[in-house]
């Protein structure tokens, strides 16, 4: 274990694909540096994604967007805003099935979904 890494338990849970543990650890982690907060929020979004909790995933991405914008990380803010927009559109498309699981299972990550549907 790395000394002083407040997100190590989050990253470990993500590596093990223990999505609930990753989500809980990300939400419970206390970080004060903008880069670490961005990592925490990205990890929270990723775990929520795999748990099929798209609303929570979108909320974490939107919070990451606001965080990045407030720290003048405009590239990251743009990427987070685009990801949230794509996921909202995907959710609208999937509402007829009342679940995001079919959509989620098509992709290995949020980044892959955004890359695929970034032009919806």
The structural domain count of the chain equals: 1
Q: Is residue 3 part of a domain?
A: no
pTM across the whole model? 0.62
Q: Is residue 75 part of a domain?
A: yes
What would the pLDDT profile of 94-120 be if each residue is shown by its tens digit? Answer: 555 545 555 555 666 666 666 665 543
Helix (H), strand (E) counts: the chain:
7, 0
CB-CB contact of 71 with 77 (8 Å):
no
Q: Is residue 1 part of a domain?
A: no
CA–CA distance, 17 with 66 (Å, rounded to integer): 27
Q: 42 is in which domain, residue-wise?
A: 8-117
CB-CB contact of 54 with 62 (8 Å):
no
What would the pLDDT profile of 10-23 be if each residue is shown by its tens digit? Answer: 999 999 999 999 99
């Amino acid at each position: 274990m790395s000394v002083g890494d407040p997100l190590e338990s989050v990253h470990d849970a993500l590596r093990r694909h223990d999505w609930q543990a990753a989500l809980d650890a990300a939400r419970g982690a206390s970080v004060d540096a903008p880069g670490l907060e961005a990592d925490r929020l990205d990890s929270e979004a990723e775990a929520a994604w795999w748990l099929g909790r798209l609303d929570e995933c979108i909320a974490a991405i939107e919070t990451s967007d606001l965080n990045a914008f407030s720290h003048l990380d405009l590239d990251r803010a743009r990427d987070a805003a685009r990801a949230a927009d794509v996921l909202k559109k995907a959710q609208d498309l999937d509402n007829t099935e009342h679940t995001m699981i079919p959509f989620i299972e098509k992709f290995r990550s949020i980044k892959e979904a955004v890359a695929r549907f970034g032009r919806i």
